[in-house]
Amino acid sequence: MDDLFPSPKPGAGGGGSVFLFLSLYLLILAFFILLVSISTLEKVKSKAVLDSLNSTFSTILPSGSSVTVFNAEEEEINAGELFQQEITDIFTSAIEVAKIEIVHPGRLMRVRIPSDSLFFSGKSKIRDSRFPFLDRIVAALSNRPAGGRYDMEFVIGAEYVDGRSLPIAGTLEILRAGVFARDMMARGAPTDSISIGLKPGDPAEVVIWFYVRPLNEPRLKFNEDNFGKVLGKVMEPAKEVSKTPAPNPAPAGRAH
């Protein structure tokens, strides 16, 4: 060792290399500390990675080792969190969003958007530039996990008729809701995942609820304290809706 690192002779200045190496080591350490300090932890992705590692290596662990077991409900919640992240990415990258709320992680989320960001102003026609956006939502809804499903409720604000009840036909809000449902189904959205309705409120705002539910849960249930008005027969042309009497509200707010 003395041959490799000879003691510096007085006045030779060779000992400076030791301090140079030490400085480099400290600089690298500071660099990695900086990386850790500015990094962020994505819990959903981290949990997915841990689940995958546990399932992959559980068969080769020693018999005395313990493995964390995730039950079906936890896996469903994890899939729901990934779904919520996907929906968040779709809305924030493609459309003007007023507010996105995770009401229940992995189970329920709510998105508020201006009506005119989806439809042409004063019309029931969806903007052509929003069709790729709708296709992405359809793809997300169709990517159901095993034993579960993703549901969407489209609720648009409407004013009371004569201050007493919500309209039953012929208004711009009803036409918009029907057009939205028909376009989503025409693009391949699961028919049992789409529900539309009205709620007392500002017609300029649309509230969209996204659910993660067990596959055997039979009906959709409107939120907003269950005062949404169901719009039945969304697949019929709008002119036929105005000629027929209002359908009886479907149980628990499911669109037909």
Q: What is the DSSP letter of 20?
A: H
- What's the mean pLDDT in 215-240? 46
pLDDT over 80 (residue 99): yes
Q: List the domains of the chain with CATH numbers.
A: 72-253 (3.30.1330.60)
pLDDT digits (tens, 9 = 90+) for 173-206: 989 999 999 999 999 999 889 999 888 888 999 9
Tell me the backbone φ, ψ of residue 206, rounded to 5 degrees.
-115, 135
So what's the pLDDT on residue 98?
75
pTM for the complete prediction?
A: 0.57
Short-list 177, 180, 192, 187, CA closest to 256: 192
| Environment class of 109 (CB within 10 Å of its CB; exposed 0-12, middle 13-18, buried 19+) | buried
Q: Which pLDDT does position 72 carry in this prediction? A: 45
- From its phi and psi, is residue 87 left (phi > 0), alpha (psi between -120 and 50) or beta? alpha
CA neighbor of 141 nearest in space, from 185, 105, 110, 198: 185
pLDDT confidence of residue 34 = 86
